[in-house]
Amino acid sequence: MKIIDGKACAQQIKNQIAKEVEKINAIGFRVPKMAIMLVGDRADSVSYVRSKEKTCKSLGMDCDTYIFPENTPEQEVMDLISRLNQDCNVDAMLIQLPLPAHYDSAKILDSIDYRKDADGLHLMNVGLLHLGEPYVMPCTPKGIMSLLETNGIEVAGKHAVVIGRSQLVGEPTAQLLIRQNATVTLCHSHTNNLSQITRIADIVITAAGSPNLLKAEDFKEGAILIDVAINRTDDGLEGDVYSPRTREALEQRLSAATPVPGGVGPMTIAMLMQNVLDMYKIKNKKSLDF
């Protein structure tokens, strides 16, 4: 079984971004800038935000982070988004999810100018993706497609089973696979006989957030597993399928798999950085000749 090394693949993408930013800097232009907003102090969200900010700066790009207490009125955050929308020095922004329960997440996401929507979650970007004309792609699905491509995994004509139908991961991943001519089955928590479906799949993409979801025998011989999930268990981080316990049995059954950690996770952040640079380049395309 080939281990699909997301960390190495993400590093290559980040190196390329850093080179492009260096060129931008060398010709005397301002570098790309992202704004990150966080409401509340959930430990996992704080850690994701810190990691995005650190990566952005390590690639030579600018990043401003705004942290609001949990009880901040929604309007205060909307006012900041409105200012950032108008700030021509800000190329891209994101608000860390999940938002507190008293927030209307869709309203907040849709108040971001869709041309600065680094996560690709604005209604307009969701619509464009469904039409097959994406302006910006959500980072995790984009990272999954990039991993498949870089590792020479052809999806056209294959039966791909996606488990999970969230707007963040499952649904847009299914859309991207359809556009690349895969035959896609989208499964979710109401799917009956899940393992009967995965047993006839060439590629299985799991994004359920449910450890021990499937066993090695629930896959066809030679199938490919992309395990998106990050489950925090007593034994550490595990995927929906991939864990130190299951690795040996998976090795006998599959032709390739992403590990957890070190598979899709690093690609998500690399794709976010790519989105920031791409948005900057679209805005400045008249002045840049690369």
Asked if 96 is an active-site residue, the reply is: yes
Q: Is 259 in the site for ligand NAD (CB under 6 A)?
A: no
Q: How many residues bind ligand NAD (CB under 6 A)?
A: 25
Q: Is 138 in the site for ligand NAD (CB under 6 A)?
A: no
Q: Between 84 and 99, name the residue whose CB sits nearer to ligand NAD.
A: 99
How many other CB atoms are found less than 10 A from the CB of residue 251? 13
Q: Which of 207, 224, 254, 273 binds ligand NAD (CB under 6 A)?
A: 207
How many other CB atoms are found less than 10 A from the CB of residue 90? 20
CB 74, CB 104: distance < 8 Å: yes
Question: CA-CA distance, 199 to 191, in Å (whole number)?
Answer: 14
**Secondary structure (3-state) at 57:** helix
Stretch that binds ligand NAD, among 29-37, 121-129, 262-270, 281-289 (CB under 6 A): 262-270
Site string for ligand NAD, 146-185 (x = CB under 6 A): -----------------xxxx-xxx---------------
Q: Between 140 and 274, name the residue whose CB sits nearer to ligand NAD.
A: 140
Please give the C-alpha separations between residue 246 and each of 85, 126, 162, 191, in angstroms, as whole numbers.
46, 35, 20, 23
From the list 96, 202, 240, 274, the catalytic residue is: 96
Residue 117: DSSP 8-state: B
CB 146, CB 9: distance < 8 Å: yes
Q: Between 18 and 97, name the residue whose CB sits nearer to ligand NAD.
A: 97
Asked if 19 is an active-site residue, the reply is: no
From the list 91, 117, 119, 218, the catalytic residue is: 119
Q: Is 254 in the site for ligand NAD (CB under 6 A)?
A: no
* Smallest gap from residue 47 Cβ to ligand NAD (A): 13
Question: CA-CA distance, 178 to 217, in Å (whole number)?
Answer: 26
CB 136, CB 282: distance < 8 Å: no
Q: Is 265 in the site for ligand NAD (CB under 6 A)?
A: yes
Asked if 234 is an active-site residue, the reply is: no
Question: CA-CA distance, 59 to 25, in Å (whole number)?
Answer: 12
List the structure tokens of 261: 């950690």
Positions annotated as catalytic residues are 52, 96, 119
Binding site for ligand NAD (CB under 6 A): 140, 163-166, 168-170, 187-189, 191, 194, 207-210, 213, 228-231, 264-265, 268
